Structure 1
Amino acid sequence: MNKKEVKKAPILRFKGFTNDWEQHKLGDETNRIKSYSISHGFEVAEDTGTKYIHYGDIHTSKVKIINNIDVLPNIKDNNYKPLKYGDVIVADASEDYKGIADACIVNTISDSYKIVAGLHTIAFRPKSKLCSKFLYFYLSTDIFKHFGYKTGTGLKVFGISYKELAKFKLKEPSVTEQKKIVKLLFLIENAINLQQRKLELLKASKKAVLQNIFTDTKRVPTIRFNTFSENWNQKRLKPFLIKYNKKTTVNNQYPVLTSSRQGLFFQKDYYDGNQIASKNNIGYNIVPRNYFTYRHMSDDLIFHFNINTICDYGIVSTLYPVFTTTSEIDSQWLLYYLNHSVDIKKYALLQKQGGSRTYMYFSKLESLKAHIPALAEQKKISSLIFKIDEQIYFQQKKLKYLQKSKRFLLQNMFI
């Protein structure tokens, strides 16, 4: 295709539609609804009858589709021109250039509240031949985002003006085709929202289980399996831990790993193809499969432990101790205990001796007095939490698939 030739139809279309899409400027196809950027828009009021859309909420995906008016804060001044159902709001500023021109749509109405566009937002009201939801999805495409990157300006804060946004060239099909596209995308969008809520509930369930099992109660947890009644005994961890001291003797002997609070990863995967470890990694700690590792220093009193389940051998810097366990303790239970118990949080606080960092050397970890149940109860607990983790992982994969499907449609159903 000639560089000057303009695409007249998208790659992916519904059967029966063959007409070319028409090109119009965004400013010609919409009316602008004035936004208000006064500082007291941030002030929270109890009940003024006015809700406020803040550009930060659009960036964080809090209000991409405003179905629930309660997600928006109240503001004190209610002398604003309200938005209507179907109005599309664009964030005109972002501290990260990737967030520029993020969009949301008002998909709800209320007799008791009005919604106004606030700080760093631009509100568009589509004219009759442009479906509002079609416009919202169009402004969610990489086509519009790329336009925002090219025309936006700024250093610390990246911004774009209405004057520039109004020049954006929309390409529109018939109203009938617009509605078809919208119907499909909203089905995907609703599925994503339901999936996100399901995932949030699972994570909340796991959090509740962890809080009630690894509680501050000294002898028994708040909840437990009814087949166990014995007290949890307080013991030092030293008899249960075996330090692993083998180090690399050849550069890049094994893949470099990153032990993060999100889990253990190959460093190149974690840093998008880059390896930030030293070019010479001779002397790094080796982490065999099913062995523990963690960073022995923390800036916020939180230490996160990981088990290597991704390779037979990996390597980490000497800041990350490596250890395994004896058969007298369940390693999966210990992992949950170390990452979530009140015991270790209190113990970490005791290790802080001035300065901004806290250190949990392996010798210190061995000295931790842990509240430990019988091995059979440990296995029951770890099995329960592991099953919840499996469900979370499965639901996360499903969510990513739906999000990927939506991105594919956005990329191929618009021009």
Structure 2
Amino acid sequence: MSNKEERKAPVLRFKGFTDDWEQRKLKNIAIISDGIHQTPNYVNKGIMFLSVENILNLKSKKYITSQDFENNYKTKPLFHDIFMTRIGSVGVTNILETNKPIAFYVSLALIHPQHVSAYYLNYLLKSPSSQKEIWKRTLHIAFPKKINKDEIGKINIKVSQNKQEQIKIGNLLKKMEKFISLQQRKLNELKEVKKTLLSQLFPSKGQYRPIIRFKKFTNKWTKRKLGNIAKIIGGGTPSTSNHDYWNGNINWYSPTEIGNNIFVNSSNKKISIKGLNNSSAKLLPGGKTILFTSRAGIGNMAIMLTDGCTNQGFQSWVIDDTKIDIYFLYSLGRLLKHDAIRQASGSTFLEISNKEVKKLLLEIPSFTEQKLIGNMLRKIDDDIVRQKERIILITKIKKNLLQKLFV
């Protein structure tokens, strides 16, 4: 036995609790029920009907009649019962926080806690030790994989026998989860603000003035071809059979590295000076280059902070930063993605050529107005990045608590 399996109490505890935890089977502390096996007749309004895809927020747009509900459900979900997915993504749980009647499909198991705190049991089932037990009892050769109701009942879990300890653990993790949800709502709100700004800080199709502007700017924006305001430069790949061309100190990007982050400063693979000089790859200046994917996901973009080059899956934009604000162009460029896809061609995969990228049309204001718009959008993007980082950090803390608060 490992040390972890021998433990009789969690690593992290609230003050005043010292008793060992007892190993129990889930069926000894909860009643477990299946949902209905047949697909019901859905109606426009009635009793909400849940399946696997609804488990994260316990909301659905599917409904059944009250009559079907009464006829098909001997066991009806109650306030603070727990749903657990048992088909597909096995072992995801959520707790019911409403007294309204709820119907559910056989892909979910209903767990009714007995003599144990509901929130405590919900998070206990989410803990790594319980998830390991669920995994062991899951039928993996089935497609999709599933766990039978009887096997759910046989899950071995170590349980605190002190109800007050259960309540404290459940309340702590409940607050943590609600805090994460609050942060996620803030992130969604920031994204909505940015979406609105993008629609109003740039002119609509066929228009030459945006809906909202900074004070004192009234002139029409000028329609320009992208090739007239930036150098459009493709990439290349050094021979992979020549080891001297690789593992140097020159960044060399591929399209799969672009799209998740606004800025990039280090690539997964590097090439050498020899590789650069013996390929069609071009060294692009950091701080003045927007990487723009031209295949395998056309129109993904990133601002390159340090010098580097790309493979041939790019048509990158190199600017004169005394005439074009790079963040303005990056933000505006994201609105060009649909135009770029429309201009793409190819039988094996879609690709937009250097010539077609140069023809992409956009409206440009004065350099001063560009900088103001770019600065505003960068501030909100910075807020979005910080909010994402905050959510990642809090989620890691919650994960750590699930490991430490349970045996």
TM-score normalised to the size of structure 2?
A: 0.85
Q: Secondary structure at the match of 1:358?
A: coil
Distance 1:395 1:246, change over 3 A: closer
Partner of 1:403: 395
Residues 279-337 of structure 1, C-alpha deviations (whole Å, 9 max, x = no match): x97635544422222221256xx51221113xx33443222233310232211111111
Distance 1:385 1:5, change over 3 A: closer
Relative to structure 2, which stretch is displaced further, 1-10 or 235-244?
Answer: 1-10
Deviation of 1:347 (Å): 5.2
Deviation of 1:355 (Å): 4.2
Give the Cα–Cα distance (whole angstroms) in 2 for the partners of residues 297 and 2 of structure 1. 50
Distance 1:2 1:198, change over 3 A: closer
Partner of 1:361: 353
Aligned AA (2:193): S
Q: Secondary structure at the match of 1:222?
A: coil
Aligned AA (1:22): E
Aligned AA (2:44): E
Is 1:235 aligned to 2:224, yes or no?
yes
Is 1:413 aligned to 2:399, yes or no?
no
Aligned AA (2:95): I
Partner of 1:103: 93
Give the alignment of 1:79-90 within 5 angstroms.
79=70, 80=73, 81-90=75-84
Partner of 1:272: none
Is 1:198 aligned to 2:186, yes or no?
yes
Residues 182-224 of structure 1, C-alpha deviations (whole Å, 9 max, x = no match): 1111111111111011111001111111122333242112232
Partner of 1:294: 292
Deviation of 1:392 (Å): 0.6
Contact 2:233–2:354, Cα closer than 8 Å, also in 1 = no
TM-score normalised to the size of structure 1?
A: 0.83
Is 1:150 aligned to 2:136, yes or no?
yes
Give the alignment of 1:14-413 within 5 angstroms.
14-40=14-40, 43=42, 45-48=43-46, 50-58=47-55, 62-63=56-57, 66=58, 73-76=62-65, 77-79=68-70, 80=73, 81-94=75-88, 99-110=89-100, 114-127=101-114, 129-152=115-138, 153-154=140-141, 156-173=143-160, 174-214=162-202, 215-244=204-233, 250-253=245-248, 254-257=250-253, 258-263=256-261, 266=266, 268=268, 283=279, 284-290=281-287, 291-298=289-296, 302-309=298-305, 312-326=306-320, 327-341=322-336, 345-346=338-339, 348-349=341-342, 351-353=343-345, 355=347, 357-413=349-405
Aligned AA (1:231): K
Residues 245-289 of structure 1, C-alpha deviations (whole Å, 9 max, x = no match): 787683122244344222365555xxxxxx799xx9763554442
Q: Structure 2: 5+ residue runs without aligned partners? A: 239-243
How many aligned positions are there?
A: 381
Q: Secondary structure at the match of 1:93?
A: coil
Distance 1:118 1:5, change over 3 A: closer
Contact 2:194–2:377, Cα closer than 8 Å, also in 1 = yes
Give the Cα–Cα distance (whole angstroms) in 1 for the partners of residues 33 and 92 of structure 2. 17
Identity of aligned residues (%): 24
CA RMSD of aligned residues (A): 2.8
Deviation of 1:374 (Å): 1.5
Aligned AA (1:171): K
Relative to structure 2, which stretch is displaced further, 215-224 or 354-363?
Answer: 354-363
Contact 1:330–1:378, Cα closer than 8 Å, also in 2 = yes
Relative to structure 2, which stretch is displaced further, 393-402 or 216-225?
Answer: 216-225
Distance 1:82 1:155, change over 3 A: closer
Contact 1:51–1:74, Cα closer than 8 Å, also in 2 = yes
Contact 1:285–1:318, Cα closer than 8 Å, also in 2 = no
Distance 1:209 1:25, change over 3 A: same
Residues 91-145 of structure 1, C-alpha deviations (whole Å, 9 max, x = no match): 1111xxxx321111102223xxx11222411111011x21111110011112222
Distance 1:72 1:89, change over 3 A: farther
Relative to structure 2, which stretch is displaced further, 256-265 or 326-335?
Answer: 256-265
